[in-house]
Structure 1
Amino acid sequence: MIQMSTFIAILLVALTTYCTRILGYVLLKNKTLSKRQQKILQIIPGCVLVSMLVPYFLPEHPVDLIAIVLTLCAASRFSMLPTILISMVSAAFLRSLLI
């Protein structure tokens, strides 16, 4: 059973990530953006999510930190679905090495 505080934290992170994506498009809807600016707008939600998650993993979970690094490498090369699959498999594999 998931704790209520964990559930609320997940909802807040999801809402923050969603708002960063939508807010950029709402504020800039009448502007013509370069390809670089469009790419930056697409990356911002992921950066917000990573900035909220990484401090949790740094001190106590080095294996998860390795999985995060692998996920970031995958995200720079692949689309969302392969990145998610790579992150899940790498986290599961690295955690299984600890058992």
Structure 2
Amino acid sequence: MIDTAFVITIALMCGVTYLTRIVGYLALRNRTLSPRLRVILEAVPGCVLISVIAPYFASTDPVDLAALGITLVASIKLRFLPAIVISIASAALLRQFF
């Protein structure tokens, strides 16, 4: 049986994520963005991904380091979304089997 608090937590997290997107859209919808601000906003997804991956650079666990290596190769060779999928899948599979 799924815990009610678990479902409420996920629903609230979804709501907050959606709310941040809506507020950003409403705040910037009638504004003309400068080229500099546009470049900054386009770099945000990569910055968030790096902040999630960065602690694994200091890891001594061979599984984490192998997943990190696969992630680096995928991010160099592929576009953003396939690289994320490969990195998540490789980390999950390596942790499952090792």
- When the two structures are superposed, what TM-score results if normalisation uses the length of structure 1? 0.50
Going from structure 1 to structure 2, the CA distance change for 1:24 and 1:78 (only over 3 Å counts) comes to: same
Structure 2: distance between partners of 1:39 and 1:6 = 37
Q: Following TM superposition, by how much is the alpha carbon of 1:18 offset from its aligned partner in structure 2, in angstroms?
A: 1.6
Q: Which residue of 1 aligns with 2:4?
A: 4
Note the residue ranges of structure 2 that are not aligned, 5 or more in a row.
53-60
Instruction: Please say which structure displays the higher CA radius of gyration.
Output: 2
Q: Which residue number in structure 2 is paired with residue 96 of structure 1?
A: 96
- Measured after TM superposition, the shift of residue 21 of structure 1 is 1.6
Residues in 1 aligned to 2:35 and 2:2: alpha-carbon distance in whole angstroms? 41
Structure 1: any 5+ residue segments left out of the alignment? 55-62
Q: Do the aligned partners of residues 17 and 32 (structure 1) sit closer, same or farther apart at CA in structure 2, a change above 3 Å counting?
A: same
> Aligned pair in 2 of structure 1 residues 30, 19: CA closer, same or farther (>3 Å)?
same
CA distance in 1, matches of 2:40, 2:9: 26
1:85, CA displacement in angstroms?
2.0
Question: How many residue pairs end up in the alignment?
Answer: 81
Structure possessing the higher relative contact order (Cα contacts under 8 Å, 6 or more residues apart): 1
Tell me which residue corresponds to 1:21: 21
1:91 Cα deviation from its structure 2 partner: 3.3
> Relative to 1, partners in 2 of residues 1:35 and 1:10: Cα closer, same or farther, differing over 3 Å?
farther
- The verdict on how the C-alpha distance between 1:39 and 1:17 changes in structure 2, with shifts beyond 3 A counting, is farther
Cα RMSD between the aligned structures?
3.9
